Amino acid sequence: MDFNQIFRERTKKFSILVIQSLSSLPYSDDISIIRKQIIRSATSVAANYRAVSRARSEKERFAKICIVVEEIDETQLWLEIIEELGYLNPDKILQLKSECDELVKVMTKYKFKLAQS
């Protein structure tokens, strides 16, 4: 399996994990807004990473990876907010934050690699 396939799967699994982790939270206005935002950003990471691997040019690939980095960073922000508000079990938030941190590192490194190409 190559790098692109590994991260296509990994970003998709991360999106699913975010959705599953937040779906059990009770309804309230604040939780609803946060849930919508984090699900949107996490799924955008997966969708845009798929676009990276199908880009028609290096410029398009770079533009898409920039979006991926922005969206994973936004997801990281929402996870920090969820953690500080105490909305999720500490073990679950640690799992989500750990995977998100890894994805931030990898995608940022990939972005800089493409920028230097």
Q: What is the mean pLDDT of each run of 10 residues along the chain (117 residues)?
A: 90 98 93 96 97 92 96 97 96 97 95 89
CA 8 to chain centre: 11
What's the rounded Cα separation, in Å, for the pair 90 and 106?
24
What's the rounded Cα separation, in Å, for the pair 17 and 31?
17
CATH architecture label of 3-116: Up-down Bundle (1.20)
Domain ranges of the chain: 3-116
Q: First and final CA of the chain: distance in angstroms?
A: 23
Residue 88 DSSP class: S
What's the rounded Cα separation, in Å, for the pair 79 and 93?
7
Identify the CA nearest to 5 among candidates 41, 50, 47: 50
pLDDT for res 3: 86
What's the rounded Cα separation, in Å, for the pair 87 and 92?
10
pLDDT tens-digit series, residues 17-49: 999 999 989 999 999 999 999 999 999 999 999
| Contact call for residues 40 and 19 (beta carbons, < 8 A) | no
pTM as predicted: 0.93
